[in-house]
A and B are shown apart, each in its own frame.
Chain A
Amino acid sequence: MSAACLLLALPAFAVQPGEELADPALESRARALSYELRCMVCQNQSIDDSDAQLAKDLRLLVRERIKAGDSDAQVLDFLVDRYGEFVLLKPRFRRDTALLWLFAPGVLVVGLAGYLVWALRSRRRDGPADALTAEERARLEALLAEDRDASRTV
């Protein structure tokens, strides 16, 4: 199935001549929505990218709903009712997608917190960051005595 679809989808050709809406504002909304909708019989393609028959039908359907006066959210709701969450390339924030959305920000927050704790702790343990060890002080003396320019390493 997937292989067959790959073959179908390869001469990729997105929006066909004659599919576009006459009103450019509506058409650009339709294009923007198309990027967020999956061509469900294809491999990782939006309906905007695929020239599978289903993608074509969905493109027309999106445009029909827009012409009928639906808002973007209503169009998406309509499609999710019909095809399930799978049709959305950007999953909505729900209980079972919370981890998906919060994972990367969580890593960042935990990382920042960990760094902060570590920085505070090592400061308490070792004194202020600009204190030099005896060895470093000796090296500094030697370097200063020699060449000011060479003391700056990459």
Chain B
Amino acid sequence: MIAEIGHYALVLALALALLQSALPVWGARARDAALMGLASPLALGQFVLVAVSFAALTHAYVTSDFSLLNVIENSHSAKPLIYKISGVWGNHEGSLLLWVLILTLFGALVAAFGRNLPDRLKADVLGVQGMIGVAFLLFVLLTSNPFTRVDPSPLEGQDLNPLLQDPGLAIHPPLLYVGYVGFSMAFSFAVAALIEGKVDAAWARWVRPWTLMAWLFLTLGIAMGSYWAYYELGWGGFWFWDPVENASLMPWLSGTALLHSAVVMEKRDALKVWTILLALLTFALSLLGTFLVRSGVLTSVHAFAVDPARGVAILIILAVFVGGSLALYAIRAPALKQGGIFAPVSREGALVLNNLFLTAATAAVFVGTLYPLALEAATGEKISVGPPFFNNTFGPLMLPIMLVMPFAPLLAWKRGDATRAARGMVGAVGVAVLATVLVAGFVQGGPTLAALGVGLALFAIVGAFSEVMERTKLFRAPLGESLRRARGLPSSSWGGALAHAGMGVTLLGVVAATAWSSEVVLAMRPGEQIDFAGRQIAFQGVEQRPGPNYRTTAAELVVREGGVEVARLEPARRLYTARKMDLTESSIATFGVSQLYAAMGEERGDGKTALRISYKPLVTLIWLGAIVMAFGGLLSLADRRLRVGAPRKAARASPALQPAE
């Protein structure tokens, strides 16, 4: 019964979405306030209905209702509760329902908090959101209904893919989806602006918080996914250039570009046409990501839902939205008035460079991900595009970004003073050079380039704070005054600095973990001990343990430093009984920001057990950097909220600028 309510709620949501995509937009054209006013209640109603539907599916999972096909295929009564809940989105149908839930949540947020949006813009934005809702609700109902019943129903389910029974999976997809779907707001605003034929600084101001929110969740989602792959897939890599990872990286890159160009648009009323295009492309890449993951067109570690019929349906959605919006863009963009001009050496100029390189980096990931598919479709020739390709194309494009990144905030708008900016960077350059020399001189092993990598990372980290230092007059004014100035800085200044520093932190982790990781692969007998990475690691033996829906075989390793036990590692293999699937569970011990990583291989006939032990220096910085970036995003977001109550003088001087929310 509850499943039928869920199904019915979804049908009703579709009906509301249809109304939402037509009436407010029509109202905006006919200047009918009543029709435009329908947008908000429709968006709120649609969200409530989808939420009811999602709750119904969750209920079915929690109560192990094996009369639902979706629950049978992805759940098991013995599965721990957290994985019963996360199992709701650990499959094709459920994850799409989550997608729609987040989409309608964003619509509801605009309806609830977008009170000071102009009526027509709000009606158009929610109208476009309604259209996306129609497409995906139709898709769920016609091809991916999670509420299909089975009669007679079996007594037990087939369990969730063991790979996905992990706390990482419980949060990775929701974070990622908030990011993906959040970019739909930028898309809807862009389409609305194109329909109106008008876009100004105020528009950028409304779009920025949504984009920022999507960006920070996507950052966390990607980092989470990377860490999950690191400990779950068992060979200790943190980024595989897997097509599905690329699918999430592309919107992140173009979303990052969008954030920066929206700043230019907000402050200087320039780059309008480009910003609109980026907003369209970013969501197009999000849709492409959904297509790549959900269609199973790419066979990769993530492709656990393979069904070509669905692929075609998503491809149609992709074509309609991308094609439609780009056509609208081609027609309307030339009519958009160009705004402020600027010299090449200026904050705007630096941000244009940032955008160019980020776009080229997106292009590198895009072509590397899709080219093999296109080539095979066109000629039948099969080629592989793997990590070496991306390291050779994507890597060099990120270098200039890291180099220019600290400079941009030191340049003034319109016309900057390069010499003055360079003077502000002296400290960062000094630290970078010193670090490079020290690393090259004293650290053993690793490629020579790694020292430069460390230098670049430190340059980015220290340089990120040069604007803050400049503005607080640190070391140039008494400390008290610097502190007072630091408190007075808008939190978006701190946010920007932290986000940039986070990039440097991540780079440092990537460089160190790539260049100086050490690894042993060996077969050990119980009682044996090895010296590794300055520690002694003793293999105690193998132990069998029962689990809720699996059996574990764990190897016990004791890590000692100078005879003192500092950590225990228990790499294991799990046999999931329902799916008869074997899984490695790596074991990690963290020392500061470095990690010791162990994975267990086969137990061999001769009483030895195969073990792979690696030491990964500074590896956690990769993900800590992402957290720092996201925190920076959060600070910038907080800044915008603060401004709602107290618009600054600049904002008051020009009546077009209104607070964001």
Interface residues of A (CB under 8 A from B): 2, 6-7, 10-18, 20, 35-36, 38, 43-44, 46, 49, 51, 84-91, 96-97, 99-101, 103-105, 107-108, 111-112, 115, 119, 122-123, 126, 128-130, 139, 142-143, 146, 150, 152-154
Contact = CB atoms under 8 A, between A and B. Distances in A.
Given A11-B584, A49-B235, A90-B389, A43 B299 contact: yes
A11 B234 contact: yes
Interface in B556-591: 573, 581-584
A11 B650 contact: no
B341 interface: yes
Interface stretch (B137-145, B357-365, B433-441, B626-634): B357-365
Given A13-B610, A86-B383, A126-B341, A115 B352 contact: yes
- Max chain B CB contacts within 10 Å: which of A17, A105, A119, A130? A17
B487 interface: no
Contact of B338 (A11, A17, A44, A122): A122
Given A2-B299, A16-B610, A17-B610, A35 B388 contact: yes
B326 to A, nearest CB: 16
Interface stretch (B125-133, B237-245, B421-429, B543-551): B237-245
29 contacts: A10-B233, A10-B234, A12-B234, A12-B235, A13-B601, A14-B521, A16-B521, A20-B521, A35-B387, A44-B299, A44-B300, A49-B237, A86-B384, A88-B384, A89-B385, A90-B389, A90-B392, A100-B371, A104-B394, A108-B356, A108-B357, A111-B356, A119-B344, A129-B346, A153-B267, A154-B490, A154-B492, A154-B493, A154-B496
B625 to A, nearest CB: 23
Given A13-B584, A85-B381, A146-B649, 10 more contacts: A10-B163, A10-B582, A12-B235, A12-B584, A36-B386, A86-B382, A88-B383, A103-B363, A103-B367, A108-B357
- Max chain A CB contacts within 10 Å: which of B163, B242, B356, B582? B356
Given A15-B521, A103-B363, A129-B343, A90 B388 contact: yes
Contact of A107 (B360, B371, B612): B360
**List of 7 A-B pairs having minimum Cβ-Cβ separation, nearest first:** A89-B386, A104-B364, A90-B388, A108-B360, A129-B343, A103-B367, A107-B363
B646 interface: no
Nearest to B233: A12
Nearest to A105: B360
A122 B268 CA distance: 15
Interface of B: 163, 233-235, 237, 240, 242-243, 267, 299-301, 303, 338, 341-344, 346, 352, 356-357, 359-361, 363-364, 366-368, 371, 375, 379, 381-389, 392-394, 397, 413-415, 471, 490, 492-493, 496, 521-523, 573, 581-584, 599, 601-602, 610, 612, 648-650, 653-654
Contacts of B602: 11, 13
B571 to A, nearest CB: 10
A54 to B, nearest CB: 14
Contact of B389 (A14, A49, A89, A108): A89
A32 to B, nearest CB: 10
B385 A130 contact: no
Contact of A122 (B341, B496, B610): B341
Contacts of B394: 104
Contacts of B243: 44
A89 B381 CA distance: 14
Contacts of A13: 234-235, 521, 584, 599, 601-602, 610, 612
A89 B235 contact: no
A36 B385 CA distance: 10
B237 A44 contact: no
Contacts of B356: 108, 111-112, 115
Contacts of B346: 129
Contact of B382 (A7, A12, A85, A104): A85
Contacts of B361: 104
B414 A129 contact: yes
Contacts of A107: 359-360, 363
